[in-house]
Structure 1
Amino acid sequence: MTTIEQLLELAETQEPPETAIPFLEQAVRLADSQKDRAAAFRARVRLIQATTFSGFPDKALIHFAWVLGTFDRHPAEFRHQAYHVMWMYKWMLSASLDHPGFPLERIARLEADFERRTREQGSGAHYLAYHRLLKCKQLGDVSGAQTAFLAWRSLPRDGLSDCEACEQNKVMDYYAWRGNQAAAVRLGQEIISKGMSCHNVPTVTHANLLGPLLALGRSEEARHAHTEGLRMARLDRNFIETIGKHVLYLMQRGDLEAARDVWAEHLYLALGLRNQADLFEFMSVSAALWNVLSADQASTVRLPRQFALYRPDGQYQPQVLATHFRREAEALAQRFDARNGTDHYHYTLTRTLALT
């Protein structure tokens, strides 16, 4: 019989993290059946990390609830895990925003609980300020985002702050969101020139540079960012939103065949995505792509069998695909806007369609 430790060791050898999930889920079930609380805690910590960085935040949220409850009920046993619990809590705050099934009231309760724990442990206020910026951006609250941005940047970094590479990339992303393309490019190119890196950086940085560079007319630098960034992000479910930016760049450059090929190569990953915010971005780009291609009579493209409109002969009517993906994007926009009480997601979809 395979032991818990053997399953954890098997999971450690898997790449990308998504392929470790079945082994970790089996380890969790085995630990629970054996009533081994310490092993169940350890396996879930690993599972939360793997699901978070593989586009399955819904799974991470379920197992984090168990971890947090166990941590609170058995403080003497798990006190040494306090830092790791709080670090995972950061991921859960972000995941709750990206899942429209989480009401804003519940997110507010999570924020209040996280804030209480930051006061008890002496760190975390810096990240909480950034989380509030994220929430304002998702709501489309420009004034609130500016206030939250200034609050975040005025607080000192602490033990729960993101790494410096992540932080600079997030500042860059905020400037691009506000339309300050020159500042965004300066920060992004500094990340790359200095070799700043972490799990997501500079993969996402290259993609985040594409729009600002095009807006500034710096096409050759955009081409280089695309080439490097696509190489890093290719076939990784965690970077589906990033892939969408590369597809959009190719469309804006007029290379529709390359845009279609990159899109088709990644559709199967997007179809299994549980991060609804990332899925919305990819569906929006999909709608934009096929809207542009809808002037064609027919298109031959190999799409995955799990695709709702799959055809064995690979023959698709572009207008049919454009309608399908627009409906998918609109349905996601409706869920987010209903949760958030705004029309920001529908506005974002309209902007994405207009870019092409």
Structure 2
Amino acid sequence: MSTHTLAKMQAKESKIQEADTRGDVDRAFRLRAEFIYDALFTGHPEKALVTFGWLRAKKKDDPARFDDDLLWEQKLIAAQLWVFPHVPRAKIEAAIADFEAEARSHAVGERSIAKIRFLWAKHRGDEAEMAKWYETWLRARRDWLTDCLACDKDTELEEIFDRGHDAVGMVQAKPFLEGELACEEVPLRTLPLMLVPLLRLGRSDEAAALYKRNEPKLRRSRNLIRAFGRHLTYLTLIGNLKAACASFERHAEFLLTAYDADERFSFFTAARLTMKRLGDERLRLKLPEASGIVTGADGKVAAPEVYAWVDTVARSLATTFDERNGTGAYHRAIVRADALLDELGGGAGTRES
């Protein structure tokens, strides 16, 4: 479970402001270097981005005074930039190249560079680049700039499942299930990866136990938005639409304004499936004002209206990302999600009014 909390992040922000007010630049520098991790692990990549810009500027102005290499922080930022759809593709690729040059100047980072390039290619849906950098990443040696073993194995497991190798993936998942691989976010974000593969393998009892084990812990997180979406997809596919609606209601308002637009897309794509499966039902559902959906005299909203809203959000994000990236990967992800509902979401769901 993460040791980073929103309260701790806000407390660190106050300390930074105090250091700035006193003109204590050295303390402000140290605090900001720590703050990047607080921001990322509490779902605020935008704060981490601004903070890193400040650190780089200070280091450039006075490299002798600020001799920290900032390589870990630079790596984290380089792997976050693409979640902001307004950041141009050229700027993202320049940031990755800048990190690569800086890492190579310290004779480290071969594995980290390959992983970032693989993830950037995956984000764009560039199959050739993905295959190239995935193999390069797996072959590269580990060093002090490499992600922890649990994080690396989590990324590897996700790719195995994405390639459709469900049975192989569940064998590879054993160390996560038995607590042998764990870190700040693992296995909290890893266990939801297994839910749909288990359903496809006909192991629904195992999927149910896994969901029950992980959901209470995940509910307390603010940054594992993609995992929220995976839980929502699972509930929809098994027909537990009451729980799916509760999950959607719990997260929708916060996620509508979450700065990580990539993960926001994953959640609203999952919500599309929930509302599609609900058909013409009317729901007791508290929605964000931004939805523009008005509750009827019966205190309910129409599922088709909610579907139209979440579909618009998902497709708008897909268009923004695809236009920036020059691909159609995000719209293809919507098509794959619909196919998943056709494959595994048959039959009537259960929901209480």
Q: Same fold (TM over 0.5)?
A: yes
Distance 1:21 1:355 in 2: 38
CA contact (8 A) 1:204 1:229 kept: no
1:78-128 alpha-carbon deviations (Å, 9 max, x no partner): 22x32xx21111221121021111112111111121111112222222111
Q: Within 5 Å, which residues of 2 pair with 1:177-216? A: 177-216=162-201
Task: Give 3-state SS (helix, strand or coil) of 1:238's partner.
Answer: coil
- Among 101, 120, 126, the alignment partner of 1:135 is 120
The equivalent residue for 2:144 is 159
Over the matched positions of the two proteins, sequence identity in percent amounts to 28
Q: Which range moves more in the overlay, 177-186 or 27-36?
A: 27-36
Contact residue 78 and residue 92 of structure 2 kept, 8 A:
yes
8 A contact 2:84–2:262 mirrored in 1: yes
Contact persistence 1:52–1:60 (CA under 8 A): yes
Counterpart CA distance in 1 for 2:154 and 2:4 is 23
CA separation in 2, counterparts of 1:312 and 1:124?
57
Deviates further, 156-165 or 36-45: 36-45
Match for residue 319 of structure 1? 304
Amino acid at match of 1:205: T
On the 8 A contact 1:304/1:310 being kept in 2, the answer is no
* SS in structure 1 at match of 2:87: coil
How far off its partner does 1:15 sit?
7.2
Report the CA distance shift for 1:184/1:195 in structure 2 as closer, same or farther (over 3 A). same
TM-score by length of 2: 0.90
Structure 1: runs of 5+ lacking an equivalent: 1-13
Q: Structure 1: how far apart are the matches of 2:31 and 2:73?
A: 14
Please show how residues 71-90 of structure 1 align to structure 2 within 5 Å.
71-79=59-67, 81-82=68-69, 85-90=70-75
Greater length-normalized contact order (CA 8 Å, ≥ 6 residues apart): 2
Matched, 1:123 2:116: no
Indicate yes or no: 2:39 matched with 1:55. Answer: no
- Is 1:300 matched up with 2:288? no
Mark the CA change 1:27 to 1:215 in structure 2 (over 3 Å): closer, same or farther: same
Residue 60 of structure 1 aligns with an amino acid whose one-letter code is: A
Amino acid of the residue matched to residue 276 of structure 2?
Answer: N
**Unpaired segments ≥5 residues, structure 2:** 342-353
Q: Which of 10, 35, 40 is residue 22 of structure 1 equivalent to?
A: 10
Aligned length: 339
Structure with more of its chain in helix, by fraction: 1
Q: Deviations over 1:154-178 (max 9, x none)?
A: 1100111111111111110111111
Instruction: Name the CA distance, whole Å, in 2 between partners of 1:109 and 1:353.
Output: 35
Query: How far apart are residue 322 of structure 1 and its match?
Result: 0.3
Q: Does 1:102 align with 2:87?
A: yes
* CA distance in 2: counterparts of 1:114 and 1:15, whole angstroms: 27
- The letter for the 2-side match of 1:55 is G
Give the partner amino acid of 1:349: I
Tell me which residue corresponds to 1:6.
none
Runs of 4+ in 1 over 4 A off after TM superposition: 304-308, 310-314
Contact 1:237 1:270 in 2 (8 A): no
Q: What is the alpha-carbon distance in structure 2 between the residues aligned to residue 262 and residue 100 of structure 1? A: 26
- The residue number in structure 1 matching 2:250 is 265
